[in-house]
Amino acid sequence: MTIITTSDTRVNKIVEEMNRRRENCRVEKKKRDMIRANWKELHKKGFGYSQEGRKPVILDYEQGRMLYDILPDGAWKGQRCFIIGGGESLKGFDFSKLKNELVIGVNRAYEIMDCTINYAMDNNLYHWITKGTLGQEAKERFGDFKGIPVWVDSAGYDYPQGIFILNKLGKQKNNFKMRDGIKSGTNAGFGALNLAVCLGANPIYLLGFDMEGRGGKQVWWHDGYPENQIESIYKTFILDFKDIAPKLKKRGTRVINLNPASKLIWFDFGEFKDIKPIKRPVIVSFYTKKTGYEEQVKQLRITLKRFNLENDVVGIIDKGSWHKNTYYKSLFIQRMMNKHRGRSIVYVDADAKIRMNPVLFNNFNYDFACYFHAQRQELLSGTLYFGNTKKARHLVNMWIKEDKLHPGTSMPQKNLRTVFDREKDNLKWKALPVEYCMIYDSRNRYRVNPIVEHFQLSRKYKGSKSRKPVYLANQSLAEIQEFCKNKKICILGNANSVLNGKKNIDSFDIIGRMNRGTPRGKEKFIGSRTDILFLSTHMSGENIQKSFDPRFVLWMTACNRLASSWTLKNAIQNPPDDWDMLYDKLSINPTTGMMSLNFLLKHIDFKSLTIYGFDFFTTKTWYNTRVDNGQKHSGKRERGLFMDMIANNKKVEFIS
C-alpha cells in the first residue's frame, strides 16, 4: 500500500487543479451576477426581457423594447421577405424594386433604403454608426431611418430607446421563437435569416449573400468597417447556413439565393427578374392644414415609409369646421381613384398608424371592403378599400350623391352605409377583420395586434363650430364647489410610490382618488375614505360603489364613449373646454391626474391641497404591471406643466 503525503507532487497538482476550478467558478459567478445586474437595471429602464403578463399590443414602435413585444412570432406568416446582405454583387442594384416588400437589411443596409427591419449583432457597429466612425452620411441616415432597428444582445448592453433587442441563443440550440432567443451564428446575415423564419416569412429571398471576397480580403457593396477580417472568414460563415439548410427544408421554409454565382450553395438559386410582382394598392389619406391633423399625419407617413408602402397623402385647406372637412372624404377617394386608375385604393384616416404590413390587400380582388363594428354592426370608415373597378367607382359616386342629399348627417360613414346596403348585392365585397381598423383604446387591442391603428383625433375636433360636444347629464359644479370650499383636500395618484410609508390620509377633510386606485386592502397606506372619484375609464356603477362608495364622481375627459350607463346618469362632467386647453398645451391626451389638478386649481376654493402618488410614469401604477409607453400620454410634458401650475402656490403641497 502506497501512502501519499502532502509533500507529494501529485497532491500539489490536485490542490492546484481544485483551486483553479474554484477560481474559475468565482469568475463565472461574478460574470453571471454582472449580467443579471445589467438586465435588472435595464428592466427599470423598460428594456430587456418582457415582464410576465404584459400584453405585447400595448407597446408602441416609438419605444425601445424586445422586438417580439411589437412584432410577434409568425407576424409575416406566408409572406415573402427579402434579406439584404453585404455582398459586392449588390453594387448597382436598384433597391427601389423592393418597394412595398418586407425587407430585413443586414448591418449597413439602412443606408440604401428604409428596410422594414435593420438587423445587427455587434454593439461596435452601433458605436461606429452613432459616433460618426462610418462617416457623417451613415450617421445621419441612421438618425432618419424609419424602419425598426434591431440588435442581438447577449450581455445586457444598454441600447437606448428606439433600438429593439433580441436575446442570443446558445450555439448548440435550434429555435425559431424570438422569446427564446435568436441563433445568430457567426454573422449577421445568418441571424437575419433566423429572424425571418421566426416571423414566419416564406419564401425568403437572399440578396448579396456572396460569401466570397477579393484579393484575400472581405468586400461589400459599401465601404466596409474599421475592423475587417480576411477572406477565409466566409468559410466559417457558410458552415452556419450548411447546418440550418436541411432544417428549414424540413419545416417547409423555402430559401432562395438570388446570386447564382454565390459560394452559398445550400439553398436553391434564383434571379430577381423571375420573381412575380404582387398587385398592391396605393394607400391614400388627406389631412386639414393648420390643424392638429397636420402634426398627426407625420406619424402616418413614418409608418407608411417603414413598410415601403406606396402612398399618396394630401393636405387640404380647412373648409370651416371638422364636420365639413369630413364630408370631403368621398370626393377625395373619387379623386384618388381617378388619379391612380388601374390601381386599388386603400383609404386610411390621417390620425392612423400602420402597425404591420397590410398583406390582406395583396392581390385583393374585391370591389369594396370595410370593417363593421362587431356589436353595433356600424360601418367604420377609418380604413376603406376600393378596387378601382366599375362597380367600386359607382359606389363612390352614389356615396357623393348621398352626402349631398344628407349634409346634416352626423358622419359621412352613415351615408356610405346607406349606399352600401342598397348596392351590396351588386358588389364583390368583404368585411375586414378588426386588425385593419383598430381604435387605439378599444378592448380589442388587448387581444389582437393591430395592423392599421386609429387614434381618434376627431374626439378633439368633433365639437368645433358646427357641432356641440355631448356632455353628461349632470353639468353643474355648484354642489361639489360648495362641498369643497375652504377644505383641506388630498388627492392620491396611483404611482407605486404611494404605497411607501404610512400616511394619515383619513385626517384630510376631502380625499380624491383616480380611476382604479381603490383603497381596499391598502388602507394603512392610502386611507379608507373616498369623497371624490376622478374617473376617465369604464367602470360599472356596482364596481364604483363597491370599491369606492364616493360622494361625487367626476367624469374627466371630453369623450364619453368609455363612460358606463351608471356614470352617464350620476357623474359630474369636468368641463370639456378644460380638456381641450390641456391637450393644446401638451399636444397629447392629458392624464386623469393632470385633469384632476387642473379642476381643483381652476374650480375649487380650497384651504389646502396635498398631492401624493404622482411620478409621471417613472414607475408603474400600484395596481397595474404596465408603464405608460408614451402613446396616450407624455410624462415628461406633464411634469413640466404640472410643476408650472403649482409653482408659488403656497396652498399646494406636492409629495412625490
Angle at 28 between CA 25 and CA 30, to 5 degrees: 105
Query: Do the domain assignments include residue 469?
Result: no
Q: Alpha-carbon torsion 542, 548, 553, 554, what sign? A: negative
User: pLDDT category, 49, cuts 50, 70, 90?
Assistant: very low
Element (H, E) at 533: strand 532-535
Q: Are 205 and 81 in contact (CB under 8 A)?
A: yes
Dist CA 601 CA 479 (whole Å): 17
In Å, how far from its chain's centre is CA 190?
Answer: 27
Least confident stretch, 86-100, 179-193, 212-226, 439-453: 439-453
Can you point out the beta strands (E) in 310-351? 311-316, 345-348
Per the document, the length of the chain is 656
Residues 605 and 482 occupy one common structural domain = yes
Query: Do the domain assignments include residue 472?
Result: no
Coil, strand or helix at 182? strand
Three-state SS string over 481-512 comes to HHHHCCCEEEEECCEHHHHCCCCCHHHCCEEE
Position 136 scores a pLDDT of: 94
Residues 482 and 592 occupy one common structural domain = yes
Residues 35 and 68 occupy one common structural domain = no
Residues 21 and 100 occupy one common structural domain = no
- Tens digits of residue pLDDT in 361-377: 989 999 999 999 876 57
CATH number, residue 322? 3.90.550.10
Position 596 scores a pLDDT of: 93
Q: Are 334 and 401 in contact (CB under 8 A)?
A: no
Position 181 scores a pLDDT of: 83
Query: Do the domain assignments include residue 51?
Result: no
Dist CA 574 CA 553 (whole Å): 10
**Total number of domains constituting the chain:** 4
Classify residue 320 by burial, with Cβ atoms within 10 Å: 0-12, 13-18, 19+.
Answer: exposed
Position 651 scores a pLDDT of: 93
Among candidate residues 258, 274, 290, the one where a domain is terminated = 274
Hey, what amino acid is at 229? Q
Residues 290 and 205 occupy one common structural domain = no
Query: Do the domain assignments include residue 417?
Result: yes
Classify residue 521 by burial, with Cβ atoms within 10 Å: 0-12, 13-18, 19+.
Answer: exposed
Residues 313 and 385 occupy one common structural domain = yes
Residues 199 and 232 occupy one common structural domain = yes
Average pLDDT over residues 600-608: 94
Dist CA 573 CA 620 (whole Å): 27
Query: Do the domain assignments include residue 50?
Result: no
CATH number, residue 267? 3.90.1480
Residues 361 and 401 occupy one common structural domain = yes
Mean pLDDT of the chain: 83
Position 473 scores a pLDDT of: 56
> In percent, how much of the chain has pLDDT > 90?
37
519 DSSP assignment = -
Among candidate residues 274, 300, 318, the one where a domain is terminated = 274
Range among 248-252, 290-294, 617-621 rated most confident: 248-252
Residues 324 and 395 occupy one common structural domain = yes
Query: Do the domain assignments include residue 590?
Result: yes
- CB count within 10 Å of CB 24 equals 10
Position 54 scores a pLDDT of: 34
Position 31 scores a pLDDT of: 60
- Tens digits of residue pLDDT in 536-574: 888 888 889 888 989 999 998 877 767 887 888 888 989
Range among 317-331, 422-436, 470-484 rated most confident: 422-436
Residue 598 has pLDDT above 90, yes or no: yes
Residues 574 and 596 occupy one common structural domain = yes
Coil, strand or helix at 288? strand
> In percent, how much of the chain has pLDDT > 70?
83
Residue 193 has pLDDT above 70, yes or no: yes
Cis peptide before 433 (omega within 30 of 0): no
Query: Do the domain assignments include residue 471?
Result: no
Can you point out the beta strands (E) in 50-169? 81-84, 102-106, 117-120, 148-153, 164-167
Q: Are 117 and 105 in contact (CB under 8 A)?
A: yes
Q: What domain range is 446 assigned to?
A: 282-461
Residue 528 has pLDDT above 70, yes or no: yes
Residues 166 and 141 occupy one common structural domain = yes
Residue 42 has pLDDT above 60, yes or no: no
- Tens digits of residue pLDDT in 440-488: 767 676 677 788 988 876 665 554 433 334 456 566 788 899 999 999 9
End-to-end CA distance of the chain: 77
Residue 390 has pLDDT above 90, yes or no: yes
Q: What is the pTM of this model?
A: 0.59
Residues 426 and 298 occupy one common structural domain = yes
Least confident stretch, 66-75, 86-95, 301-310, 438-447: 438-447
Among candidate residues 274, 290, 324, the one where a domain is terminated = 274
User: pLDDT category, 405, cuts 50, 70, 90?
Assistant: confident
Residue 267 has pLDDT above 70, yes or no: yes
Could you give the strand order of the β-sheet that contains 510-514, starting from the edge strand earlier in sequence?
A: 572-573, 552-555, 532-535, 510-514, 488-492, 608-612, 652-655
Query: Do the domain assignments include residue 403?
Result: yes
